[in-house]
Structure 1
Amino acid sequence: MLRSFDDLVRYQARMGEDRFPITDLLFNAQDGALKYLMVDTGGWLDSQQALVAASLVGEMTVDTAEVVLKATPEEFAQAPRWEGEHQPLFPILSNLPPLVVGPFGGTYAPLALAAEIDAETDAEDADRDPRAEAAMKRFETAKSWLGVDIFGRDGALGVLDDLLLDPETGRITHLVIDNGKVLSGKLLVVPYSVLRYRAGGGHLVLDTNAEALGKAPQIDQIDRLERHWHHDVHNYYMIPV
């Protein structure tokens, strides 16, 4: 049974008695191979993401909405930690007046404040986990793909609505596309191998066209994770299951 990314981010990762919210997946864009499961280990004030290697990801259980982690506490503690992107404040606050009156009558200079905060953040960035930094640069995050435009050989095809993951192979196997013409209660699913590349602008390019996509089999949302529809979809695109 396949798992959709939209469902997985509602799951929790379980390690012994501990539970962690799942926030994202890191995968190789070339073949869809899962590389890391990203889980939130911190509170709302100090959110920190642990990158759990795919080899340590175990069973994904629908009934309990859990993903079992095969990591020991020591392995989990040593997993790369990602602290999120640093968004410089200087460009944001540069549109404010040179001096701003605060709620208690005091004044402050937004640009000077932004420069001070950015300098402190840059110092903190020097201590960021280089393993996580390298992984985030090398691999793709599932969240960054959702909602991106999809193009084919003859123009726009729609937007990416979801990704389907096969827990047995540890690979993303299908793209779920919203072309604005899908029947109610149906999904338009394309094998991942139809993907040609992700362009520099962020959009995806498929080896198909609008006419072929419009005639492709649409599957029931209820049955979207079962395998019985694989043959219909893969035969249509002449791709082995």
Structure 2
Amino acid sequence: MLRKLHSLKSFEVHGRDAKLGKVDDFYFDQSQFVVRYLVLDTGNWLKQEETLISTHAIDNIDYDSKKIMVELTKDQLEDSPSIKRNEPISKVKEQEIIDYFGWPDYWEKTHSSDSELIHAGISERKKLLDFKVLEKEKEAQEKAEIAKTNLRSVEEVRGYKIHAKDENFGHIEDFFIEEEDSWIIRYILVDTGKKIEGKKSVLISPDWIHSISWHGKEIFVDKDKDQIASAPKYEEEKSKNVLPKSYEEMLYDHYDEDKYW
């Protein structure tokens, strides 16, 4: 069963020793459409208002009490790296965060060889020892890495326009994810407004995306509007934030797509 991602927003986050804050946003991997982090709003007890928590740190989610239990303590968050609200996160910043907490990464890293360090010239060695130079280089590197970021804020992409082969048919409202374990985004919930008669919302799989313009805030899917309009009706008011497999079966049969399960 799949769950609507936005239904987890404002859930309380509890660590090993105390309440840490509440869920304010999520960051997903834009190339694989997998949620990687929760954004924690810590209120006023921490010097930075928001910080990231990897999905690897989640121990349990209690949907009835709206609480998320994580393998962290208040002390661990005290000096954790902060983030800027709703902005893309560079690889430099992400590496800083996962190194601090000791979380596993999910991309292939490259390392400088020992020989490169051994043969570094005197000026290069001096640079490595110069803290101010390192800080300036880090800032410049982070700005450059923003352009290559792989993480997107869910709150930032809500409202992106969704286009069929022939015309626009709505905007991103939410996502449906695999519950708890993989955090894979299986569907984009599209708010159609009045563009499709009789259907306020429709579901589109990320697998059916043809292309994305992050700069233009637009997503293009490999379906035409008539196909989307005739798809099995999704009734949000009856879903209770979850999506049954029976509906997925009907949806995939309608589009004649290979099922992922």
Match of 2:58 in 1: 57
Kindly state the Cα deviation for residue 225 of structure 1 after the two structures are TM-superposed: 1.0
Secondary structure, counterpart of 2:242 in structure 1: coil
Deviations 1:4-56 (A, max 9, x none): 23211132222233141111111111221111111112329965211111211
Per mean C-alpha deviation after superposition, the further-off stretch among 142-151 and 61-70 is 61-70
Unaligned runs of 5+ in 2: 88-134
Match of 2:189 in 1: 176
Kindly state the Cα deviation for residue 219 of structure 1 after the two structures are TM-superposed: 2.2
Aligned residues: 201
Match of 2:125 in 1: none
The within-5 A match list for 1:69-80 is 69-73=70-74, 75-77=76-78, 79-80=80-81
Secondary structure, counterpart of 1:26 in structure 2: strand
Q: Paired residue for 2:205, among 187, 191, 194?
A: 191
What one-letter code is carried by the residue in structure 1 that aligns with 2:154?
A
Give the Cα separation in 2 of the matches to 1:132 and 1:171. 27
Per mean C-alpha deviation after superposition, the further-off stretch among 187-196 and 207-216 is 187-196
Give the Cα separation in 1 of the matches to 2:251 and 2:141. 38
Deviations 1:67-88 (A, max 9, x none): 22133455544643214379xx
Query: Identical aligned pairs, as a percentage?
Result: 15
Q: Is the 8 A contact 1:81 1:132 kept in 2?
A: no
The normalised TM-score by structure 2 is 0.65
Give the Cα separation in 1 of the matches to 2:146 and 2:33. 15
Match of 2:224 in 1: 209
Q: Is the 8 A contact 1:152 1:206 kept in 2?
A: yes
Match of 1:163 in 2: 175
Structure with a larger share of its residues in strand: 1
Give the Cα separation in 1 of the matches to 2:249 and 2:158. 25
Give the Cα separation in 2 of the matches to 1:44 and 1:61. 24
Q: Is the 8 A contact 2:41 2:49 kept in 1?
A: yes
Q: Is the 8 A contact 2:13 2:69 kept in 1?
A: yes
In the alignment, does 2:221 pair up with 1:220?
no
Structure with a larger share of its residues in helix: 2
Give the Cα separation in 2 of the matches to 1:135 and 1:63. 38
Match of 1:21 in 2: 22
Match of 1:33 in 2: 34
Q: Paired residue for 2:162, among 150, 153, 163?
A: 150
Q: Is the 8 A contact 2:86 2:153 kept in 1?
A: no
Secondary structure, counterpart of 1:64 in structure 2: coil
Deviations 1:113-157 (A, max 9, x none): xxxxxxxxxxxx98x999998689431111111111111211212
Unaligned runs of 5+ in 1: 87-124
Give the Cα separation in 1 of the matches to 2:60 and 2:141. 25
Q: Is the 8 A contact 1:24 1:141 kept in 2?
A: yes
Match of 1:239 in 2: 258
The normalised TM-score by structure 1 is 0.70
What one-letter code is carried by the residue in structure 2 that aligns with 1:62?
Y
Secondary structure, counterpart of 1:84 in structure 2: coil
Per mean C-alpha deviation after superposition, the further-off stretch among 10-19 and 150-159 is 10-19
